[in-house]
Amino acid sequence: MSNIHYIDSKQLNFEILSTILFTEKQLQLSEEAIENINKCRDYLDKKVKSDSAPIYGINTGFGSLCNVKINSDNLQLLQENLVMSHACGTGSEVSKDIVKLMLILKIQSLSYGYSGVQLKTVERLIDFYNHNIIPVIYTQGSLGASGDLAPLAHLSLPLIGKGEVYYNNERISGEELLKKFNWNKIELKSKEGLALLNGTQFMSAYGVHLILKSFKLSYFADLVGALSLEAFDGRLSPFNELIHFIRPHNGQIKTAKRISNFLDGSELIEQYKEHVQDPYSFRCMPQVHGASKDALDYCKKTFLTEINSVTDNPNIFIEADEIISGGNFHGQPLALAFDFLSIAMAELGSISERRTFQLVSGLRSLPPFLVKNPGLNSGFMIPQYTAASIVSQNKQLATPASIDSIVSSNGQEDHVSMGANAATKAKQIVDNIETILAIELLNASQALHFRLPIKTSPFLESFLKLFRSEVPFIENDIVLSLEIKKTVQFLQNLNIDTEELFEY
């Protein structure tokens, strides 16, 4: 298999992006992409020379300064000034894996030939990716409206020898970077600064990152939920396909089928039950987990459309001989998707914590707090507190960002999506879900010990054996934060077949 991914007009998908990232493929422009970029740039150069009329962002100012005509001698300075002036990011640094995604998505968008950039500008961005040069970008500063202006300005600064990057685990200036590689700075031509800064690649990169992680966590919610069901001596009947075929939501059917498969061959699930029903957090896993799956599926489709789109402004249409200023940079579709994803994932955490609560409550022959000597030992009393605290935080974070808007650019940008804020808080929620599910897994595995010698299914037993090689059964009180951390790392290190994650 080639270690090169060719940038072309073929649609990106999450499987391709996952492969590029995790197999460390190098990027290279296809002949088609090179032709598209060169044709568009040539067209724009000729247009600027032959037409003295103001064209937004090419020979005018930006935002509310759109009516200020710029002398042709200053067009390069105009673009550099744009990049520098818009680099106003604050807050914590964006994680390196998300910045790498931003680079891929910006290169992809520019390669379609509607943006008017120079070939060497795109090739330098590819050089950044291939040499693992990671621009320093900050989480705060984008309104998710006229593109992700501040984050993309920081992404672009090293092209002109400004800003900072990580290279070989060292933080260096853009100027030092050029010297290390003996590169000249990119002399930005008309429209290029705007092409680099207008775009939704900050939001889109977060979207790709969170979709990949959320689908994996959705799988783990089913898996850990099945373990909890077994530990709680739950019933199999709520997962019978007959129930779900008369309410045929895709996610609901998928969840019931997956959990039934996990439980296949279990002694515990087949044993006689004195109780006729389980609490909702067990019985309604297909309905609750399934609704979140359907929400994730909607979000996946939204982000898939976005990563295969051109989102800068203005756009250049050679065949139609048109340069059109519009609003493809507006992040409203993404803002709504992030808010939906946040709510959907928060619910997976909410129901998980309820299962944890049931397991430590001393019900169905389980010892209180899942420890042999309660009283002397507090056992698993406080991990449930921790899960409850995180669930409550998620409720606060799940308040939609997309319902907010603040006027900017002197009234020119009078409605914004706040999609970047939706993205960063969605990431907090998704990261929190990982911890909540880790706490449930810690509790469920502990509770299952008290069901021995009766065993769960061969599949779940093999999973437990793998888990126990990392996190042992706990006899007496120890520092549980370390066990939670080990459990989180265990989940992070587990690889699940991508087809299984995205199957519908």
With a cut of 90, say whether residue 406 has pLDDT above it: no
Residue 65's pLDDT band (boundaries 50, 70, 90)?
A: low
CA angle 463, 237, 462 (to 5 degrees): 10
Say whether both 150 and 221 belong to one domain: no
> For the chain, how many structural domains are there in total?
2
* 56, 138, 166, 298: the active-site residue: 56
| Residue partners of 319: CB distance under 8 A and separation at least 6 | none
Shared-domain flag, residues 374 and 300: yes
Q: Are residues 226 and 171 in the same domain?
A: no
Separation of alpha carbons 104 and 240, rounded Å: 44
pLDDT, residue 462, reads 97
Over pLDDT 70: what percentage of the chain? 97
What CATH number is attached to the domain comprising 147? 1.10.275.10
Global confidence as pTM? 0.95
Q: What is the pLDDT of residues 89-126, one digit of tens each?
A: 999 999 999 999 999 999 999 999 999 999 999 999 99
User: Quick one: average pLDDT of 300-309?
Assistant: 97
pLDDT of residue 66 exceeding 80, the answer is no
26, containing H or E segment: strand 26-29
Low-confidence winner among 22-26, 130-134, 137-141, 461-465 (lowest mean pLDDT): 22-26
Mark whether 39 and 162 lie in a shared domain: yes
Q: Are residues 336 and 405 in the same domain?
A: yes
Domain that holds residue 119: 4-199
Q: Could you read off the pLDDT of 335-362 as tens digits, one per residue?
A: 999 999 999 999 999 999 999 999 999 9
Confidence (pLDDT) at 377: 86
Q: What is the pLDDT of residue 503?
A: 67
Closest CA to 441 of 371, 353, 378: 353
Q: How far apart are CA 349 and CA 342, in angstroms?
A: 11
**pLDDT band of 59, cuts 50, 70, 90:** confident
pLDDT at 57 over 70: no
Are 212 and 239 contained in the same domain? Answer: yes
Cα–Cα distance list, 163 to 76, 178, 279, 309 (Å): 18, 12, 55, 27
Lowest mean pLDDT of 71-80, 264-273, 367-376, name the range: 71-80
Judgement on whether residues 194 and 341 belong to the same structural domain of the protein: no
pLDDT over threshold 60, residue 504: no
DSSP summary character for residue 331: -
Give residue 147's pLDDT: 86
CATH number (domain holding residue 372): 1.20.200.10
pLDDT of 250 strictly over 80? yes
Residues 230 and 194 occupy one common structural domain: no
Last residue of a domain, one of 199, 229, 259: 199
Average pLDDT of the chain to the nearest whole number: 93
Between CA 271 and CA 55 the distance in angstroms is: 75
DSSP labels, 429-462:
HHHHHHHHHHHHHHHHHHHHHTTTTS---HHHHH
Q: Does 62 score more than 70 pLDDT?
A: no
Q: Which of 199, 232, 263 is the last residue of a domain?
A: 199
Q: Tokens in use for 64?
A: 């509310």
The answer to whether residues 95 and 162 belong to one domain is yes
Tokens, residue 246: 């008369």
Assess contact for 418 and 404: CB atoms under 8 A: yes
160 and 174 in contact (C-beta within 8 Å)?
yes
Contact by Cβ (8 Å): 332, 419: yes
Is 56 catalytic? The answer is: yes
Q: Is the peptide bond before 314 cis (omega within 30 degrees of 0)?
A: yes
* Span 254-262, average pLDDT: 97
**Looking at residues 80-94, what average pLDDT do you find?**
95
Residues 142 and 169 in one domain: yes
The string of pLDDT tens digits covering residues 152-167 is 999 999 999 999 999 9
- List pLDDT tens digits, range 125-136: 999 999 999 999
Q: Is the domain of 235 the same as that of 191? A: no
How large is the average pLDDT for residues 425-450?
A: 98
Instruction: Determine the 3-state secondary structure of 161 from DSSP.
Output: coil
Distance of CA 302 to the CA centre of its chain: 13
pLDDT tens for 320-330 read: 999 999 999 99
The domain boundary, picked from 178, 199, 220, lies at 199
The mean per-residue pLDDT over the stretch 55-61 comes to: 71
pLDDT band at 70 (very low <50, low <70, confident <90, very high): low
Question: Does residue 233 carry a pLDDT above 90?
Answer: yes
Examine the domain organization and report whether 41 and 109 are in the same domain: yes
Residue 370's Cα: distance from chain center in Å? 35
pLDDT of residue 1 exceeding 70: no
Neighbouring residues of 20: CB distance < 8 A, sequence distance ≥ 6:
5, 27, 104
* 494 vs 69, higher pLDDT: 494
